[in-house]
């Protein structure tokens, strides 16, 4: 038996799990993600510039990474949370999913038609990984010099983070079944070539093999799942080989 999709309960896990439905609000930077993936790069450019200004990012790659990580976290959280809580996944068709490049959770994603799919790992992978993360990476790499392993590392980190938030919520509310489903689904999702090599997942603990580059920002530090134990010293030599930060 599967429960009906309760977006109010889903949003109670945290802001990243919220999904609005119906007509999106007006705004200069609201568009469907299908248009973004098809080549309308203005919303992504705006978002990257906004992140860069907020963080004081020293170069565009840092802002690209952090912007992509945030959107990946939103998409994984909505899909994994729905599956763990209700056994269904909203069909996040990019043509129906509106994104406000100037917004933040919980008001950045609006789904104009709320239909669902089975809440198994195959559906989540199809909806999020194939439907969004792969074309999002393509759109970003067309415009910016950022590596595919870095972006997939961000995707793995975001997936593990969503599972961890669900597990924490489940323990706090006495819904251990939700935590168990979230962990099982995450483990199955990580068993894919694009995600398998991004890090090591044990339960909801994750240690990634790449770095999101946040440490390069002023006052930036290492994330909890970073591959580094301490921020690396950046070489000033242009011939230096790239490090694990991608």
Q: Do the domain assignments include residue 228?
A: no
- pLDDT band per the 50, 70, 90 thresholds, residue 234: low
Q: Note whether residue 241 is domain-resident.
A: no
pLDDT at residue 236 tops 80: no
Q: pLDDT tens digit string along 25-74?
A: 888 999 999 999 999 999 999 999 999 999 999 999 999 999 999 999 99
What is the C-alpha to C-alpha distance for residues 88 and 81, in angstroms, rounded to an integer?
A: 9
Q: Is 106 exposed, middle or buried (0-12, 13-18, 19+ CB in 10 A)?
A: middle
Round to whole Å and give the CA distance between 16 and 40.
25
Of 233 and 140, the one with more pLDDT: 140
Q: Check whether 82 has a pLDDT greater than 70.
A: yes
Structure tokens belonging to residue 90: 């909203």
Summarised one tens digit per residue, pLDDT across range 140-160 is 999 999 999 999 999 999 999
Range of the domain at 210: 7-216
pLDDT value of residue 161: 96
Domain count, the chain: 1
User: Torsion angle, CA of 225/228/230/233, rounded to 10 degrees?
Assistant: -140
Distance CA 192, CA 187 (A): 10
**Per-residue pLDDT band at 230 (split at 50, 70, 90):** confident
* pTM for this predicted structure: 0.91
65: in domain: yes
| 163 HSE (CA, 13 A, CB side) | 24
Report how far Cα 22 is from the mean position of its chain's Cα atoms: 22
- CB-based contacts of 117, cutoff 8 Å, min separation 6: 88, 89, 90, 91, 123, 126, 127
The per-residue pLDDT for 204 is: 87
237 or 206: which carries more pLDDT confidence? 206
Residue 214: is its pLDDT beyond 70? yes
Does residue 131 lie within any of the structural domains? yes
């Amino acid at each position: 038996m599967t429960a009906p999709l309760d977006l109010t309960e889903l949003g109670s896990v945290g802001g990243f799990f919220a999904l609005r439905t119906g007509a999106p609000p007006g705004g200069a930077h609201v568009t469907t993600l299908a248009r973004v993936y098809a080549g309308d790069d203005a919303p992504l450019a705006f978002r990257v510039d906004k992140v860069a200004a907020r963080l004081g990012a020293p170069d565009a790659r840092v802002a690209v990474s952090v912007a992509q990580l945030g959107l990946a976290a939103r998409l994984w959280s909505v899909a994994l949370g729905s599956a763990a809580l209700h056994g269904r996944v909203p069909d996040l068709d990019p043509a129906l999913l509106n994104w406000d490049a100037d917004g933040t959770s919980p008001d950045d994603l609006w789904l104009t038609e709320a239909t669902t799919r089975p809440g198994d790992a195959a559906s989540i992978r199809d909806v999020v990984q194939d439907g969004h993360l792969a074309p999002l990476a393509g759109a970003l790499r067309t415009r910016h010099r950022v590596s595919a392993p870095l972006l997939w590392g961000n995707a793995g980190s975001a997936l593990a983070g969503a599972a961890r938030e669900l597990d924490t919520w489940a323990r706090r509310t006495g819904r251990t079944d939700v935590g168990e489903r979230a962990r099982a689904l995450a483990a199955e999702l990580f068993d894919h070539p694009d995600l398998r090599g991004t890090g090591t997942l044990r339960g909801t603990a994750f240690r990634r093999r790449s770095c999101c580059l946040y440490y390069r920002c002023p006052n930036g530090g290492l994330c909890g799942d970073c591959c580094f134990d301490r921020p690396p010293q950046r070489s000033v030599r242009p011939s230096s080989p790239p490090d694990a930060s991608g």
